[in-house]
Amino acid sequence: MGLARCLRKVERTEKYAGDMSTYATIVHVDMDAFYASVAERDDPTLRGKALVVGAGARGVVLSANYEARKFGIRAAMPVGRAQRMAPHAIFVPPNHARYSEVSDAIMKIFADFTPLVEPLSLDEAFLDVTGARRLLGTGREIGTEIRKRVFEQEGITCSVGIAPSKFIAKLASGHCKPNGLLEIAPDRILTFLHPLPVSALWGVGPKTAETLEQLGLRTVEDVANLPRATLIRAIGQAAGETLHELAWGRDFRDVTPEDVDKSISAAETFAHDLDNPEEILQEFLRLTQKATARLRDKGLFAKTISIKVRFADFTTINRSKTLPLATDSAHEAYEVVKDLYTALRIERARLRLVGVSLENLVSAAPEQMVLGARDKGWRDAERAIDRARARFGRLSVRPGRLIENSEDEIDE
């Protein structure tokens, strides 16, 4: 594998020095304010208004449309702060099941253009369309058609960056937002890249940016012109070598399709701190039901069950357990979740957030045969519940312990 990657890097290096028609064509597609756009599509009366996805003063902003961003509202901002910045804005709760549904449809559109699709999240992906150019046209023509298909089929807009590498393609899509297309030709890479601030380089966070600025490096061009050895001494071998290459627009990473989810999780930030163990276990049950339903919907099984607990002072702890056999059963997963929580021995501690994560996912799992067990068990019952929910709605069947606390889920 190492030799193969080395040969690909040499091949790509030769292409950079040769005929421009031999360059790779990488497309980065990024939905515009994805969660907010889905909400606007599902409720057209929201269009043209400042819209924020995120509910409860103690929650965080997950998405804000461009009208809301005019007031300085950004993702990850506390909802309470966003409400103070734009009291007139409309705040709606997230609908993660809906986002996953739209994301799946979008990824299928991408797959119509190339099998080389690397999702980065629900709302963005890299596509290597080098091999598709002969049939589908230039990178710009393919990007234009992708934007058209996404809008016609899903009713939302996206921004598309096109370049010979993943790094430049992602920068390009960010520069043409919202609802734009920008192609960076091979002979324009440095003209586009070098005036940008050092923060544009992948891997440059606030701490690295501060170190670079102390060296007088404020633009990508400054980094490119600094001797490699000096850069390595300042920020380390691996980071120095990577940034030097990126500063010259050199990025030889392949688009790598990723078919299997790494984890599936669900979390809840409470409207007020909870200290009642029974209420907390109810929340854990609800989150376990939600996460395992998504697991079964994707045809996956989890070997590792994890919980997250965040206290009122923001201290956070995580605990996990790996099972001998993978499972997709909410009943089995909740027994593990309950044991992990109970083992913490934190009765009456004030909790701000709890979460459940299903990890170490596999596409198949053997079922442990137990002497004297019933022919039909929890897995069969839960699959029957899944079918009922698909036909009659998500709240048509649920544990009795959750009925009283399900009002906040009706609009999801």
The residues annotated as belonging to the active site are 124
Task: Kindly state whether residues 176 and 324 are assigned to the same domain.
Answer: no
Task: Kindly state whether residues 337 and 385 are assigned to the same domain.
Answer: yes
How does pLDDT run across 149-197, given as a tens digit for each residue?
Answer: 999 999 999 999 999 999 999 999 999 999 999 999 999 999 999 999 9
30 marked as binding residue: yes
Residue 312 lies in a domain: yes
Threshold 0.75, pTM exceeds: no
Q: What percent of the chain has pLDDT over 90?
A: 61
Task: Kindly state whether residues 322 and 177 are assigned to the same domain.
Answer: no
Residue 213 lies in a domain: yes
* Residue 364: band (very low, low, confident or very high) from pLDDT cuts 50, 70, 90: low
* Out of 70-74, 86-90, 275-279, 364-368, least confident range: 364-368
Residue 14 lies in a domain: no
* Residue 104: band (very low, low, confident or very high) from pLDDT cuts 50, 70, 90: very high
How does pLDDT run across 241-250, given as a tens digit for each residue?
Answer: 999 999 999 9
Task: Kindly state whether residues 270 and 150 are assigned to the same domain.
Answer: no
Residue type, 390: A
Q: Which residues contact 105 (CB under 8 A, 6 or more apart)?
A: 153, 154
Task: Kindly state whether residues 289 and 393 are assigned to the same domain.
Answer: yes
Task: Kindly state whether residues 385 and 371 are assigned to the same domain.
Answer: yes
β-pair partners for 317? 309
Residue 256 lies in a domain: no
Question: Where residue 139 sits, what CATH number does that domain have?
Answer: 3.30.70.270
Cα separation of 80 and 167, whole Å?
35
Q: Write the DSSP string, 261-302.
A: -SEEEEEEEEEEEE--HHHHHHHHHHHHHHHHHHHHHTT-EE
Q: Which SS3 state, helix, strand or coil, does residue 125 take?
A: strand
Q: Which domain holds residue 304?
A: 263-409
Task: Kindly state whether residues 224 and 337 are assigned to the same domain.
Answer: no
* Per-state percent for the chain, helix, strand, coil, to nearest 5: 45, 20, 35
- Structural domains in the chain (count): 4
- pLDDT at residue 60 in the model: 85
CA angle 351/352/357 to nearest 5° reads 90
pLDDT at residue 146 greater than cutoff 80:
yes
**φ, ψ of residue 87 in degrees (nearest 5):** -60, -25
Task: Kindly state whether residues 85 and 138 are assigned to the same domain.
Answer: no
Residue 8 lies in a domain: no
β-pair partners for 31? 158
Residue 171 lies in a domain: yes
Residue 206 lies in a domain: yes
Task: Kindly state whether residues 297 and 343 are assigned to the same domain.
Answer: yes
Task: Kindly state whether residues 368 and 289 are assigned to the same domain.
Answer: yes
Question: Where residue 235 sits, what CATH number does that domain have?
Answer: 1.10.150.20
Task: Kindly state whether residues 219 and 286 are assigned to the same domain.
Answer: no
pLDDT at residue 19 greater than cutoff 70:
no
Instruction: Label residues 364-378 b or e (16+ Cβ within 10 Å = b).
Output: ebeeeeeeeeeeeee
Residue 128 lies in a domain: yes
* Residue 18: band (very low, low, confident or very high) from pLDDT cuts 50, 70, 90: very low
Cα separation of 272 and 264, whole Å?
25
313 marked as binding residue: no
Cis peptide before 227 (omega within 30 of 0): no
**φ, ψ of residue 245 in degrees (nearest 5):** -65, -45
Task: Kindly state whether residues 87 and 161 are assigned to the same domain.
Answer: no
- pLDDT at residue 257 in the model: 87
3-state DSSP of 27-50? EEEEECCHHHHHHHHHCHHHCCCC
